[in-house]
Amino acid sequence: MKDTIILVVTGSVAGYKAAELARNLAGKGLRVKVAMTSAAEKFVTPLTFEALTGGPVLRAGFPQPGEEPMAHINFSRGARLALIAPATADILGKLAHGVADDSVLSMLLACGLPVMAAPAMNTQMYKHPAVQANIALLAERGVEFVGPTSGALACGEEGEGKMEDVETITAAVMKRLGGERDLAGMRVLVTAGGCREPIDPVRYMGNRSSGKMGAAVARMAARRGAQVTLVAAHMETHLPEGVALVRAYTGMEMRDAVGDAFPRCDILVMAAAVTDYRVEHPAGEKVKKKDSMSLDLIRNPDILASVALEKGNRVVAGFAAETEDHLAAGRKKLVAKNLDMIVINDVSRGDIGFGSDFNEATLLTRDGRKMEIARATKDSVANAVLDEAAAIWRANQGRKKPEAAEAS
Ligand code: C5P
């Protein structure tokens, strides 16, 4: 039986490309069912899609007497994926905030399907903080974005916002439908978030990590079929679904949690910001205000460096958040901590890194390779990190090194 995909077309000049997209997807053996917003009908007609797909189009208006009253519920039954292409700022905003003011949006909210979106809009619209926040929120909830790319836009401007080309969108859909479980059988341990060290029962010492990067690694690994354990410190983001969750708030709790889970993992991605120091004697009661106070800090153990000593065939990946000489500093940590790879971020930039939904990184491997990961959502960066970690894991299997840590 053919896989069914719902293609949601919205009101953009790129709407005409959705016709080619529908044909391409059908050419890959998929059954394509099209839903159109009323704005989409200003650019291309439902008849075009009915002719191309051989089936009725779900239109935005309310059903007329005699028409199927539950079309917004029944339309998507049996489908595997919803693809919004082109996706306007309007539909992304509405979907991010649960607006269901027509049949197409109601269908999207009711379908329970994985959603992919190929945005298309003017550069300034795309870069608007509200649009970026909506995209980030949707990405966090699992919507997969394809594009946009840069180029000449219909408005006459040049820049980011052009819908990704039809071949690329088709390939991304086929990957999502077919090849998405490429990490099945792998056990991935991820740490995320910022550790906090108590000063007294009220106050703590911490850092600016939001946990978004580690959450993205855990989410994408689970989506790609891996068995995932997430050791999470303080997180300012949604916790991913489908992972075994262990909470570890202090550096020492994280050391214990990672130590426990490490023997049963194949890949460790250590994205947590572990506190380098802890307060030697946290106060039992809230410390009263004084003109000055000092804290005795002691060094926390380096978790990565200690587990990497006994890694056997496991792949161990670290992150380095640097503000200067980031490549040299990252390379030094790769060697000093005996890692297979390190993901280096320049956290002096405000548009990526801490708290952001986007990242840009340089990935260095033990065998001297260097890969630049261009600015993208943290989900995309997570996929690039997982691609590399899985490749090293597969290569390690051929080498048959003894397992140093005890596997169970
Ligand atoms: O803090 P630093 O830059 O050395 O962190 C680099 C990597 O080492 C990160 O992946 C971090 O999670 C890890 N780390 C650790 N234990 C620490 C400090 C950092 O595992 N005590």
How many domains does the chain contain in total?
2
pLDDT for 13-35, tens place per residue?
999 999 999 999 999 999 999 99
Does residue 295 lie within any of the structural domains?
Answer: yes
Specify the pLDDT at position 231.
98
- Say yes or no: 253 and 360 in one domain: yes
| Ligand 1 atom nearest to 272, measured from its CA | 12
Residue 122: φ, ψ to 5°: -60, 145
Which of 177, 203, 227 is the last residue in one of the domains?
177
Does residue 391 lie within any of the structural domains?
Answer: yes
- Say yes or no: 197 and 302 in one domain: yes
- Say yes or no: 318 and 171 in one domain: no
Residue of the CA atom closest to atom 13 of ligand 1: 304
Active site includes 155?
yes
- Say yes or no: 307 and 341 in one domain: yes
The parent domain of residue 159 ranges over: 4-177
- Say yes or no: 214 and 142 in one domain: no
* Ligand 1 centroid from CA 347, angstroms: 15
| Ligand 1 atom nearest to 319, measured from its CA | 10
CATH number where 69 lies:
3.40.50.1950
| Positions in the chain short of pLDDT 50 | 401-402, 404, 406-408
CATH number where 346 lies:
3.40.50.10300
- Say yes or no: 148 and 193 in one domain: no
Does residue 31 lie within any of the structural domains?
Answer: yes
Helix (H) or strand (E) holding 24: helix 15-27
Q: How far apart are CA 87 and CA 14, in angstroms?
A: 9
Mutation test of ligand 1: which of 258, 268, 304, 337 has the most ligand atoms closer than 8 Å to its C-beta? 304
- Say yes or no: 117 and 217 in one domain: no
Q: How far apart are CA 155 and CA 343, in angstroms?
A: 38
197-198 and 204-205 beta bridge pairing: antiparallel
- Say yes or no: 19 and 147 in one domain: yes
Residue of the CA atom closest to atom 21 of ligand 1: 302
Which of 177, 202, 222 is the last residue in one of the domains?
177
Residues ≥6 apart with Cβ < 8 Å to 62: 103
Task: Enumerate the H helices of 153-250 as residue ranges.
Answer: 166-177, 212-223
Mutation test of ligand 1: which of 299, 302, 345 has the most ligand atoms closer than 8 Å to its C-beta? 302
341-346 and 358-365 beta bridge pairing: antiparallel
| Ligand 1 atom nearest to 304, measured from its CA | 20
* Ligand 1 centroid from CA 304, angstroms: 6
Catalytic residue among 111, 155, 195, 265: 155
- Say yes or no: 170 and 208 in one domain: no
Q: How far apart are CA 291 and CA 276, in angstroms?
A: 26
Specify the pLDDT at position 353.
66
* Ligand 1 centroid from CA 275, angstroms: 8
- Say yes or no: 126 and 253 in one domain: no
Which of 147, 177, 207 is the last residue in one of the domains?
177
Does residue 182 lie within any of the structural domains?
Answer: no
The two three-digit tokens of residue 85, written as one number: 């292409």
* Ligand 1 centroid from CA 320, angstroms: 7
Write the Ramachandran bin of 116: left for phi over 0, alpha for psi from -120 to 50, otherwise beta: beta
- Say yes or no: 50 and 198 in one domain: no
- Say yes or no: 128 and 205 in one domain: no
Ligand 1, pocket residues at CB < 6 Å? 251, 270, 272, 274, 276, 300, 302-304, 318-320, 333
Q: How far apart are CA 306 and CA 213, in angstroms?
A: 23
